[in-house]
Structure 1
Amino acid sequence: MTTRFTTSASAVLVAACTALSACSTDGDSASSGDGAGTDQVSVLLDWNPNPDHLAMYTADHTGAYADHGVDPEFIVPGNTADAAKEVSLGHADLAVSYETDTILAAAQGLDVVSVGALIPTPLNSLITKKSSGITTAKDLAGRKVAGSGVPSQEPSMRFIAEKAGIDPDSIEMPNVQQNLNQALLSDQVDAIFGAYPNIEGVELAEQTEITVLSAGDLGLPDSAELVLIANPTRLTQDADYAQRVRGFLAGTADGQTTALGDSATAVDALTPQTEGAYDPALLKKMVDATVDILRRGGSGSGAAAGAASADFGVQDPATWSAYADWMRKNGLLDAAAGQDAGIDGASVTTNDYLPK
């Protein structure tokens, strides 16, 4: 799981967003008119709009949501940890979150379930300059690797080191918060952990030669990076809410299909939403990189490689169960911290509301 830290513009945006109601983003889309004939659905983002959200913003831009009877309001959070709590309390209909966070939230007793994978494969990566000589996890021994402060990063790094046969304590891991790119470019650290290849990787590649080690390269288990979470009690007790969730997922599936077939439309959809955050030329490269990731799909989604368009959002309960087991074995599920360490990851995911 990675909390998105992108540019200085995002930091300004989040500082301004102290309440959910203060930070909705309304696109200049075909579906963002008066909402006549559509049902409003509130969607709490994980961070400011970025290429990871291309399926949603493409759907909004093309009117796909209106076609499925919904009119989404995208909300930028004041705190990226808000997602599960706000959905559990019924303050937001849906939220973009992470597989790790969703399992943790359920273990803490929050009323959440993942209803679809937005990015069905891990994005969390280790990025280093080619000049560092780091090409495998074994090369991290004695190195300084910056993280962004996400709680799962240190236990993940210990797992990486142990799997590679090196001493975890030999790796120094300073917390640089949102300054991952700056820390690497200024040679404060040998590598950064928690960056995304389709965002930070694109930005860094414009300035230096880099090596990207994916979650798989590092020996980490498969998971869905971004998921859409809903409230399972509301889904079973409120037919209107369930229908809005179905409509939103169907529209998002159409948006992804459009983006995979025509990335220029996705760029057009994201350009007004990301103005001031990304250089337009870099945004195109980020979108193309994200489209490539979605085309490949991921086993965490249950979709075959190359079938992501047809199988939007599909999740594999067995993979979620295995990932929860990995979290438990590596200290990320701790009953002593008020969590249900015995939780089964399969119980917090469902494909029942995805388009058939």
Structure 2
Amino acid sequence: MKNRILACAAATLVAATTVSLASCSSDADSSTDADQLSVLLDWNPNPDHLALYTADHTGAYEDHGVDPEFILPGNTADAAKLVSLGQADVAVSYETDTILAASQGLDVVSVGALIPTPLNSIITKSDSGIRTAKDLAGKTVAGSGTPSQQASMDYIARTAGIDPDSIEMPNVQQNLNQALLSDQVDAIAGAYPNIEGVELAEKTDITVLSPEELGMPDNAELVIIANPTRLKEDAAYADRVRGFLAGTAEGQDAALADPDTAVDAMTPETKGAYDPDTLTKMVDATVAVLRKDGTAPLFGVQDPADWAEYADWMRDNGLLDGGIDGATATTNDYLPA
């Protein structure tokens, strides 16, 4: 199956409520409309997506009767809105943003965890003097603009016993590495050790403060979200989502069994972004993240009780209003048995 990556601007997608995302593609292949599933990514293609691209590379999606179209995001905060409006079939998003979107009445639910553990780290140059969260007092820490970052930074500061207002947090969108390497900021937040951490370590000595070290609660870094109303009312859509998740599960299994297969799958998708050696290091680091406890994880499974607990943390830290139960923002019903 020939995969198509669409670079449609998010603003265009929001405006074109009656236009199919598939119309942005000029490619023609043997798939039918009944097979196609638009998949809005959270970021440019990178090894966090290795299960997706390995599945496509090995033909797993075709085996499950689905033809995904991977779409590059114009804005990382648009995923829930576009899925809720039916302008994207599914999207890669974040647990935090999914709970927040559901609490705001958007029609979204997480149907599987893509990266089941938190990755959002703070990375700084080793000569910055920042060794713990307490050292962030008075520093400038760049973020990428996701809705939860400021609240998370405030929590990190309070947990470390420092004044949150003493930390300046400019929004640099996808330019985290450049901001750090050019010394525009003292540190970057929201960086992933398996992506930005690998890139930065090739250029300078770095210190990585993990979510655990920062005192952050456990959550799924990346999830796959779908539209729950469509899942209930549109059997064909539900079948495509099931097929997509089953294919993605096989893609993850293939990547974990042979990381070189994942490298082969990611190479054409990341051409010009990562050189081959860097990509191999990133894939290996991502496999290590997925094998956090030393075993191959069961793809996608989410614990509703954990989501409820995380929603309580969000509420306690000013990210949620009202009494939404976080468990209602996730389901395992569409994962492969």
Answering whether residue 208 of structure 2 is matched by residue 212 of structure 1, we say: yes
Partner residue in 2 for 1:195: 191
Distance 1:15 1:42 in 2: 14
- Alignment pair present for 1:349 and 2:312: no
CA RMSD of aligned residues (A): 2.2
The match for 1:300 is none
Letter in 2 for 1:348: A
Pick one of 32, 42, 48 that aligns with 1:46: 42
Is the contact between residue 22 and residue 38 of structure 2 (CA under 8 Å) also seen in structure 1? no
Contact 2:42/2:79 (<8 A) preserved? yes
Partners of 2:255 and 2:227 lie apart in 1 by 28
Equivalenced residue count is 324
Pick aligned residue for 1:246 from 234, 242, 247:
242
Q: Is the 8 A contact 1:121 1:224 kept in 2?
A: yes
Structure 1 runs, 4 residues or longer, greater than 4 Å off: 13-26
Question: Which deviates more, 160-169 or 144-153?
Answer: 144-153
C-alpha contact 1:24 1:75 (8 A) present in aligned 2: no
- Quote the offset at 1:81 in angstroms: 2.5
Residue in structure 2 matched with residue 184 of structure 1 by the alignment: 180
The alignment status of 1:276 with 2:272, answered yes or no, reads: yes
Contact 2:131 2:207 in 1 (8 A): yes
Comparing 170-179 and 253-262, the one that deviates more: 170-179
Distance 1:295 1:284 in 2: 16
Describe the SS at the equivalent of 1:212. Answer: strand
Q: What is the identity percentage for the equivalent residue pairs of Structure 1 and Structure 2?
A: 77
Partner of 2:305: 318
CA distance in 1, matches of 2:184, 2:87: 41
Structure 1 residues 291 and 24, CA, compared in 2 at 3 Å: closer, same or farther? Answer: farther
Shift of residue 124, structure 1, vs aligned partner: 0.6
User: Would the alpha carbon gap of residues 113 and 25 (structure 1) be closer, same or farther in structure 2, given more than 3 Å must change?
Assistant: farther
Does residue 1:133 correspond to 2:129, yes or no?
yes
Secondary structure of 1:235 counterpart: helix
Equivalent in the alignment of 2:233: 237
Structure 1: segments with no counterpart, 5+ residues: 1-12, 27-31, 297-304, 335-340
Q: 1:77 aligns with which of 67, 73, 77?
A: 73
Q: CA, structure 1 residues 162+14, in 2 after alignment: closer, same or farther (shift >3 Å)?
A: farther
Cα deviation, residue 173, structure 1: 2.2
> Is 1:333 paired with 2:328?
no
Tell me the distance in 2 between the aligned counterparts of 1:47 and 1:260: 22
Q: Equivalent residue for 1:110?
A: 106
Query: How far apart, in 2, do the equivalents of 1:77 and 1:84 lie?
Result: 12
Return the alpha-carbon distance in structure 2 between the equivalents of residues 92 and 77 of structure 1. 11
Residue identity opposite 1:64 in structure 2: A
Distance of aligned partners of 1:350 and 1:290 in 2 relative to their CA distance in 1, 3 Å threshold: same
Q: Which runs of 5+ in 2 are unaligned?
A: 1-6, 14-20
Q: 1:155 to 1:21 in 2, by over 3 A?
A: same
1:25 Cα deviation (Å)?
10
1:123-167 CA deviation, whole Å, 9 max, x = no partner?
111001111222211221222222223332222111111111122
Partners of 2:317 and 2:307 in 1: how far apart?
Answer: 15
- Tell me the alpha carbon deviations over residues 200-257 of structure 1, each in whole angstroms, 9 at most, x when there is no partner: 1111000111111111110011111110011111111222221111111010000000
Q: Determine which of 133, 141, 156 is the counterpart of 1:160.
A: 156
Corresponding residue of 1:285? 281
> Aligned to 2:294, which of 285, 306, 320?
306
User: Partners in 2 of 1:126 and 1:24 — Cα distance?
Assistant: 37
